Amino acid sequence: MLAALLFMKRMSEAVGIERQAHDAVMEELDDADFTLPANTVVFAMEGPFFFGAAARLESALEVIHGHTEILVLRLEKVPFIDATGLQSLWDLLDNCKRHKTRLILCGARPNVFEKLRRAGLVGQVGKLNVVDRIQQIATDMIKK
């Protein structure tokens, strides 16, 4: 029993959820011309997205609603997602809809994307709001 509890604790701590400043994204991409639309907030996740991570995501994103028009959730470093992680994304989508915030999922690995698709999240978020690279956001926003 103790081993299971320690495993759960370690797994919940293995996930990083970090708000990324626009300058940090520009530096990471090595693109001084890269710009995001106004009132856009970017969060990056790193590590497996399951039980413990769901609560951390919710608390990290609590403060942004009402001040944000676009929320970008970068998933490049998420190796897998379970049902709890999927439910957390459904809850996030519901919150975004309630606050009229556009949710964009960015960079999901093929296995994670497939789970998002099978769960119906891709359809609900909208295909235009699921992108491979963050650079597509600025390009797609110009087109709209």
What is d(CA 44, CA 16) in angstroms, rounded to the nearest whole number? 8
Q: Read off the pLDDT of each residue in 117-121 and give the average, rounded to a whole number.
A: 96
Angle between helices 83-98 and 110-118 (to 10 degrees): 70
Q: Where are the domains of the chain?
A: 2-143
pLDDT of residue 64: 67
**Domain 2-143: CATH class, spelled out:** alpha beta
pTM here is 0.83
Q: Read off the pLDDT of each residue in 63-85 and give the average, rounded to a whole number.
A: 86
